Amino acid sequence: MIKYLLGAILALAIIGGAFDFKTTDSSWQLIINKKEAFNSVTNGAKRIFNIVRNMIPDSELADSAGIILEEG
């Protein structure tokens, strides 16, 4: 279960553009932008939640569940 969750987070970060690849003749670099990774994972999770919520419109879960994000 944890493997799937980590895989989903990694996929959202890659899709969101959190990773940059830089290569030279002698080396390869993988640069991770932490702020961009957090934003892409957060936005992806919100989108997935909204899709699931819209698929279950008559459920009590859709009426009572919510995502609250606090910055600070």
What pLDDT does 2 receive? 84
What is the Cα–Cα distance from 49 to 6, expressed in whole angstroms?
Answer: 17
Q: Given this model, what pLDDT does residue 58 score?
A: 59
Tokens 């702020």 belong to 35
From 49, 18, 47, select the one nearest 35 (Cα to Cα): 18
pLDDT at position 32: 84
**What is the pLDDT at residue 57?**
63
**pLDDT truncated to tens, each residue of the chain (72 aa)?**
788 888 888 887 777 778 888 888 888 888 888 888 888 888 888 888 888 878 776 555 555 666 666 665
